[in-house]
Structure 1
């Protein structure tokens, strides 16, 4: 399928999504959010994709939600826009396949929120992060008030959101918002290398690990451990488990088939 604002590429077992509205610093309008919704479905239904990289074209990852679209919204349409963004980001977060955000530049507002809906964030040294919505008279609307505290802690999240502060990549690394910072020319290669390592593991097991982590973080520890035991057991119904353990014992090469 062809997309207007997203470039979708497949490289072996890795999908690369590039938000492509460079003249608008890749700002998220309704059209782009709906395209992202569709491409997530396309990836979910492709058994040959094991990992995903999400990045932006030009000097921004995503500079935010599109202010020119939001400016004249009323209460009802504003709520619907927030619901659209939240639904799409939640779908991305719940995608069975791991998603790596390769944050190449500005990740502000909706852009920061989009990166937080990914599993892992690798940032260019030129990247900048923030939730500057209160400076525009609004709150974060695509999950920022919920995911940021879960990643960096309550106090730090409140400081960033209340002050509309924009931070550099090294500060994002220090507070735990990103996993790694690399030079701009190394960013995509670093993301691809990580994606390829992930894609070389048993894909069903990786998917179940993602489910266990995401769901377990919302449960009490006893319920979370019980859920982990359930999905651990599920692994033993897969060909990949048998192939992986046989290869380990017999010292042969692993061959995972996503079955």
Structure 2
């Protein structure tokens, strides 16, 4: 299958966006700054993610870092009001990424620190190479995680581990990140990782896209809620599934002992 650039009307300065077989690869391309999240990068991510609907691989230009963090040169001179606005922008990007109604795999090769770690955690799951390193080192700069790290890290690894990592600023390698639940799979090379992510997303894309989107909604809604509220959200999504053509097709195909023909997003 051919690879085509799906951005035909927007010229992004720091993003490369391509689609192959219905799967989007979103690459942050700011290698001179180790792909750091500047206002420009975050603004372009917000613009693109606001309309994103397809399965996605999130990665960055090859080099020592996936995303080395937020742009420290920009932050160093920010006033409190500007810092709050910067945090609000970063938080909005992470929320949009988390809410893409299709699975997103963060493919991490190199350092994913600060905002880079927060970006990876906002994806549905994380693949990493053995070169990957994760951390929230903001305290070493007199800062705190401001793009959701204090919230999402504890959801993934538990409050005790999150406190230790955030308070100390300690980095973890891919093996430890896998052990504590921050990473799903580890690969020997970037190429192997990206190929595996594409295979995973292609397999998911063969399922009902409406059902996958409802699963994602139910899972995200339940996080941080009391169990009965999470179960109420799941029940609401379950009911919605009965309104979709995919549900009728899937059950009919099962009863007829044939492969389902789901609608494609």
**Which category describes the TM-score, using the shorter chain as reference length?**
over 0.9
Q: Alignment partner for residue 97 of structure 2, among 70, 92, 96?
A: 92
Match of 1:132 in 2: 137
Match of 2:260 in 1: 254
2:205 is the alignment partner of 1:199:
yes
Match of 2:45 in 1: 36
Distance 2:83 2:233 in 1: 37
Count of residues in Structure 1 that have an aligned counterpart in Structure 2 = 254
2:195 is the alignment partner of 1:186:
no
Distance 1:14 1:172 in 2: 26
The runs of at least 4 aligned residues of structure 1 exceeding 2 Å deviation read none
Match of 1:232 in 2: 238
Deviations along 1:98-143, whole A, 9 cap, x unmatched? 1110111110000000000111101111101000111111111111
Q: Alignment partner for residue 25 of structure 1, among 11, 16, 34?
A: 34
Structure 1 233/258 Cα, relative in aligned 2: closer, same or farther at 3 Å? farther
Q: Alignment partner for residue 249 of structure 2, among 216, 219, 243?
A: 243
Q: Alignment partner for residue 14 of structure 1, among 18, 23, 32?
A: 23
Q: 1:55–1:101: 8 Å Cα contact kept in structure 2?
A: yes
Q: Alignment partner for residue 69 of structure 1, among 56, 74, 77?
A: 74
2:87 is the alignment partner of 1:82:
yes
Q: 1:240–1:258: 8 Å Cα contact kept in structure 2?
A: no
TM-score, reference length from structure 2: 0.93
* Cα shift at 1:258: 4.3
Distance 1:217 1:79 in 2: 25
Match of 1:142 in 2: 147
Distance 2:164 2:226 in 1: 27
Correspondence 1:152-191 to 2 at 5 A: 152-184=157-189, 185-191=191-197
**Which structure carries more relative contact order (alpha carbon 8 Å, separation 6+)?**
1
TM-score, reference length from structure 1: 0.95
- CA-atom RMSD in angstroms: 1.2
* Cα shift at 1:242: 1.2
Q: Alignment partner for residue 107 of structure 1, among 108, 112, 116?
A: 112
Distance 1:106 1:67 in 2: 15
Where does structure 2 lack aligned partners over 5 or more consecutive residues? 1-9
